[in-house]
Structure 1
Amino acid sequence: MRIAFLVADFPCLSETFVLNQVTGLIDRGHQVDIYTNRVGDWAVSHPDVGRYRLWERTYPMPEVPQNYIWRALKGFWLALIHIHRAPLLILRSLNLVAYGEQALNLWLLYTAVALVGRPQAYDIIHCQFGTQGYRGLAFKRLLRSTPRLLLMFRGFDISRYVQEGGDRVYRQLFPDVDYCLANCDFFRHRVLALGWSSDRIAVHFSGLDTNKFTFRPRQLEPDQPVRLATTGRLVEKKGLEFAIRAVAQQAQRYPNLTYTIIGDGPLHPALQQLIIELQAESYIHLVGWKNEAEIVEILDRCHLFVAPSVTAADGNQDAPVNVLKEAMAMGLPVLSTYHGGIPELVEDGVSGFLVPERDADALAERLGYLLDHPERWPELGIAGRRFVERHFDIQMLNDRLVQVYDRLLSPVNQSGPRSSDRTPLSPPLPSSSMRPASVEK
């Protein structure tokens, strides 16, 4: 199969789920090309980017200016310099009769420019976020023969983006979409609420290669400090303020405690100031971004992992967090929240504990329990590892992704795989009834 991935940024260190799908499909013998709005820094990218020479498969898409006058002027210039290379493609992108608004607003033209000199035939256009959907529609309209269009919803595209744009933000796009995937059942229901058909969407988790994460049961040695860690962007939805407050509470009882926060972002100054106000500089540390090997090294020395995600003021929410999967794969008991898709990953009381969002006292209480009962750490870690292996193994999930593509291309499934004829694409998920009433979305 020939597959085009549409992404906002590539390569992107925080989006290994895209990279894992790209390399998995290549390993299975498929041709994958990556079209991106912004090309990242190849020098600081994931090792697999170099191993697979993905820069040879990555094509930048020209930015579409918001200002319509500048968009028209730039579009005229782009058409002028590229029309001799692909005259039919450029002219087709300007066909108002056939394509209406997308031709008039020049989205088709800007997409056509990205396709000049590129393959003109794909089987699948896979938009890695719903926000890439309108660009995906432009690909579908311009390419010959017409590919199948698949949208993957991952988080902000079905939470913050919908809150900002309204419930009709995808309405014009949906008639031309062949199938949807969501990376958790929580977001699948969000897509259904927008009017999407239940037999044309499935849950497809973001996976990881568990072989890259060595499992080790966590045990506390005499006189050893208890080490906690969090990995993620320093933004509101990660809820780090509440974790810092909870750790500071427990440090009064357990002075032999350290908390390492890996990552960076706009809240770095505010979080550092909070640490200073709590007089916690000696045991809570913001260490900035680390590469994958450095993160694994830090987590290997830790005993517990904290992921206190919250719903941000702009509506942004998390799916089952990838760093949580990695921590669980390594045997770390986890402390997280009843938030978004996280209850589909963390089984409360089995692999860790869940508490309501924005509740530092509840976080502190559950953290205190874990600190008081280190004898439970190995069983919690084993349960987490087994759950990740069973539901989030990247090889299994990439095989299922290929099944989705195959069924989309099957003549009997030209409107997309139906619930009656597809292999279940997700494991049994925790019932929504498991959520406390106070955190129902």
Structure 2
Amino acid sequence: MKRILFLAQVPPPVHGASIANKILISSDLIAEHFESRHIDIGAAGKIEDIGKFSVAKLPGVARTLVSIVRNLFVFRPHIVYLSLAPSGFAFYRDVVFVQIIRLFGPELVFHLHGKGLRRSGENSRLFRRLSKSIFKNCHVIFLSEGLRSDAAGLSYKSSFVVNYGFPEGPVAPRVASDGQKKIEILYLSNYVRTKGVIDLVDALELVSRTHNHFGVTLAGKPFDISLEFLENYVREKGLADRVRVCGPKYDGDKVELLEKADIFVLPTYYENEAFPLSILEAMKFGLPVISTYEGGIPDMIAEGVDGRLFPSRDITALARQIEYLLDHPEERRSLGEAARRKFLERFTVSTFERNMLQVFQHICPQEP
């Protein structure tokens, strides 16, 4: 049986890449075809520490490097899978890992869970030279077709597109609105300024001038915006009677929010936005999604088919999209149903596992 060594961060902290890596590493399907080992290369205990240099991280990096060398000698993998950091301190750490791995000759697979290669290369000649060097003769996995451009100018042996998958799980059937209840709008992401939560509040102020039959829940973990700041901002905008700031929600509480919601909004302009799992979760629950053209989102949501897209930072355009779905209940229903169908067809964990297995088997065919 061929062997894979996974070099990838897993929760904590919890984010799209770490969740996807955990699914992959614990996959029974892949275990049927490949013997594998895993080394957790994550050095950040919190999301806000990801990509940042800290002297406190160096001992952990050294221990990881020793573990990698030991496994290369003893386990002798045919494939080394690296969840490559596209920017920041972690990229330079990964460059060191790659140089060591290449001494042993396995097939090297980079899984790009975010974007930032092109921007970092534009800002640093050293970054450009190193990225061109490490991508030679490797295989690359992108999260969507639209994210291929982030590696423009880099040459590699082969490339693949594999969308994330989210656990299927049971979902209660959506109940058609009787026209009397308030339409519920949901934001479910961290309280990060570039995720657009402030833009959403600004847009809701515009919407409230002509519409009053809606309620909003802003759920998320404070990051660079505190719970108190967001609550005060909502009050300043005169929206305290219809916008609820509830902080992070998990497990059953999060499911309850998704089941009660009628519209999901993620107005992100996060510079490393790639393939937000929060959108997949909303699609799983049959919600029409309003979001931006950032990263791989246009490959997740087709404008006017299973959601609505608008240019990031355009508050007026965001307000118009919200107003349109408030005014068109049949459109809300049809977009949500289409989003649910697409989720089941393309974005489940089982589909993700099958696609990743096909990638590994293509790179390293099994012996007959």
TM-score under structure 2 length normalisation: 0.82
Q: CA deviation at 1:38?
A: 3.2
Q: Secondary structure at the match of 1:407?
A: helix
1:140 correspondence with 2:101? yes
Residue 88 of structure 2 corresponds to: none
- Flag the 1:158–1:184 CA change in 2: closer, same or farther, 3 A: farther
Shift of the alpha carbon at 1:36?
2.4
Assess if the C-alpha contact under 8 Å between 2:131 and 2:154 holds in 1: no
2:367 is the alignment partner of 1:409 = no
Instruction: Tell me the CA shift for residue 396 of structure 1.
Output: 2.1
Task: Note the aligned Cα RMSD (angstroms).
Answer: 3.2
Distance between the aligned counterparts of 2:349 and 2:259, measured in 1? Answer: 21
Question: Is the alpha carbon distance of 1:36 and 1:326 closer, same or farther for their aligned partners in structure 2, counting shifts above 3 Å?
Answer: same
The change in CA–CA distance for 1:237 and 1:184 in structure 2 (over 3 A counts) is farther
Partner of 2:132, secondary structure, is coil
CA distance in 1, matches of 2:337, 2:195: 25
Q: How many angstroms apart in 2 are the aligned matches of 1:301 and 1:397?
A: 28
Structure 2 unaligned segments of length 5 or more: list them: 47-51, 86-90
* Deviation by residue 1:316-364 (Cα, 9 ceiling, x = unmatched): 2322321111111211111111222111111111112111111111111
Counterpart of 2:350 in 1: which secondary structure? helix
- State the number of aligned residues: 345
User: Which residue does 1:10 correspond to in 2?
Assistant: 11
Q: Does the 8 Å CA contact 1:218/1:377 hold for their aligned counterparts?
A: no
CA distance in structure 2 between the partners assigned to 1:309 and 1:65 by the alignment: 28
Aligned match of 2:166: 208
Q: How do 1:67-82 and structure 2 match up within 5 A?
A: none
Q: CA separation in 1, counterparts of 2:180 and 2:360?
A: 54
Q: Write the letter of the residue equivalent to 1:170.
A: S
Q: Which residue of 2 aligns with 1:365?
A: 320
Instruction: Report the equivalent of 1:377.
Output: 332
* 1:215-294 alignment, distance < 5 Å: 216-217=173-174, 219-264=176-221, 265-268=223-226, 270-294=229-253
- SS of corresponding position for 2:8: strand
CA distance in 2, matches of 1:204, 1:362: 31
Deviations 1:360-385 (A, max 9, x none): 11111111111111122221111111
Change (3 A) 1:360 1:216: farther
Identity %: 23
Cα contact 2:95–2:130 (8 A) shared by 1: no
1:394 equivalent to 2:349? Answer: yes
How much has 1:245 moved relative to structure 2? 1.3
Q: What is the DSSP-based 3-state SS (H/G/I as helix, E as strand, rest coil) of the residue aligned with 1:173?
A: helix
Distance (Å, rounded) in 1 between the aligned partners of 2:338 and 2:129: 41
Alpha-carbon distance, 1:116 to partner? 7.3
Distance 1:215 1:363, change over 3 A: farther
On the 8 A contact 2:107/2:138 being kept in 1, the answer is: yes
**Post-superposition CA distance 1:382-424 (Å, at most 9, x none):** 1111112222222122122112112222499xxxxxxxxxxxx
Q: Within 2, Cα distance between the matches of 1:233 and 1:163?
A: 28
Indicate if the aligned counterparts of 2:30 and 2:357 stay in contact, CA closer than 8 A: no
- Taking a change above 3 Å as real, the CA distance of residues 278 and 159 of structure 1, as seen in their structure-2 partners, is farther
Aligned in 2, Cα 1:407/1:304: closer, same or farther, shift over 3 Å? same
1:272-320 deviation line (CA, Å, top 9, x unaligned): 443222022232223222224322221111111001111x4xxx23223
Any conservation in 2 of the 1:231–1:323 contact (CA below 8 Å)? Answer: yes
User: Could you tell me which amino acid in structure 1 is paired with residue 7 of structure 2?
Assistant: L
1:180 and 1:404 map into 2 onto residues whose CA distance is 10
Other-structure match for 1:427: none
* TM-score for the superposition, normalised by structure 1: 0.69
Q: Does 1:182 align with 2:142?
A: yes
The residue aligned with 1:170 is 131
Please report how far the alpha carbon of residue 161 of structure 1 lies from its aligned counterpart in structure 2 after TM superposition. 4.4
2:207–2:323 Cα contact (<8 Å) kept: yes
Structure 1 residues not aligned, in runs of 5+: 42-62, 79-106, 413-441
Structure number with bigger Rg:
1
**AA matched with 2:327:** D
8 Å Cα contact 2:65/2:97 also seen in 1: no
Q: Which residue of 2 aligns with 1:308?
A: 267
Cα-to-partner distance string for 1:189-214 (whole Å, 9 max, x where unaligned):
221x13224x611211111122x251
Whole-angstrom CA distance in 1 between matches of 2:107 and 2:349:
23
